[in-house]
Every structure is written in C-alpha cells, then in structure tokens.
Structure 1
Amino acid sequence: MARICELTGKGRMTGNNVSHANNKTKRVFLPNLQNVTLMSEKLDRSFKFRVSTHGLRSVEHNGGLDNWLLKTSDEKLSTSALKVKRELVKAQAAA
C-alpha cells in the first residue's frame, strides 16, 4: 500500500540525517497517515480513506468532505476519492 494521502496527495519526502560530526546519510520522512471514515452530507453515506493528519485538518477547515472534493483538482485525489467526487457532481447536477 502506497504511503500517500488519498485526499491531498502528500507522500514521502527524502532528506538527510546530519550527525554532530556533520556526516550526512539519507533518510525518509513519511506522512502521518490514518485510516478514517468521513461522512458525505450530500450523498448521506460514509467513506473510508487513508488520510494524513494535515489533510484531515484541511478537510475540516474547508467545511467537510463534500466541499474539499469539489475544490480539489483531480490530479491530487486517489482513484477512490475520484469516484466519490464523480458521485457528488452527479448528485449536485440532479438536485
């Protein structure tokens, strides 16, 4: 399973460990991913995502899952999040 946030696209980053003697060795910074269930108000059902804690705060700040998916570009979203976004667009067009 890839270590990438399904909503923000945030993934692993590389950098260096720097010792006191200024020796540099490669290391990896991983995002803090959590398995969460988010509720869609327009679709009236819940969806499970693997989201970074930063992404989770961003979703809450933007007014919930529905607003976040409609505002976010398709390139950042995972395939499961894209399916939910398409359902939202259909539901919004029908209403």
Structure 2
Amino acid sequence: MSKQCQILGTHASTGNRVSHSHRKTKRTFSPNLQTKRYWAPSLGRTITLTVSAKGMKTIDRIGIEAALARIRRNQNVNR
C-alpha cells in the first residue's frame, strides 16, 4: 500500500523532529490513510480505495461517481 491518497494525492512529507535542546533530525509526516470500501452503482460492485480522512469527506461531498471520474482523469494525466 502506497502512502498516498487516491483522491487528493496527499502523500508523506518531511520535516524536522525538534528536541528540547532544539537539535533537529529528519522525520516524515504520514497522512491519515484509511482503506475504505465504497459501492459503485455504475460498476455494480464495491471498490476498495486508500483515502485520507479529508479524502473521505471529499467523496461524501462530491459523490463516489465524481470521485471515480477524478481518479481516472488523474491516472490519464500521469501517464
């Protein structure tokens, strides 16, 4: 499972871990990814997506059909 949201494209970012004495070492900030199953009426089956918590809210707002269209469009652009 990749550390990237399939809807928003949110991925792990880097920053500094800062100790009490202000020594800085590198660390990663992972997104809040969840594996979620959605029913897709147009496909007639369930699909499993790896989405962030904000991505789930986006799917609730725009609908699963529009979200699937967005995923397909992003895959075609990246090729």
Report the secondary structure of 2:74's partner residue: coil
**1:22-52 CA distances to partner (integer Å, 9 max, x unpaired)?**
1111000111111111122333322111111
Aligned to 1:50: 50
> What is the CA–CA distance in structure 2 between the aligned matches of 1:7 and 1:74, rounded to whole Å?
9
TM-score, normalising length from structure 2? 0.77
Report % sequence identity: 33
> What is the CA–CA distance in structure 1 between the aligned matches of 2:28 and 2:50, rounded to whole Å?
19
Compare the two structures and name the one with the higher strand fraction: 2
Alignment partner of 1:25 is 2:25: yes
Per the TM alignment, residue 55 of structure 1 is displaced from its structure 2 partner at its CA by 0.6
Partner amino acid, structure 2, of 1:50: T
TM-score, normalising length from structure 1? 0.66
Aligned to 1:16: 16
How big is the alpha-carbon RMSD for the aligned residues of Structure 1 and Structure 2?
2.0
Q: Is the CA contact (8 Å cut-off) linking 2:7 and 2:70 kept in structure 1?
A: no
> What is the CA–CA distance in structure 2 between the aligned matches of 1:70 and 1:49, rounded to whole Å?
13
* Structure 1: segments with no counterpart, 5+ residues: 78-95
Give structure 1 regions of 4+ aligned residues with deviation exceeding 6 angstroms: none
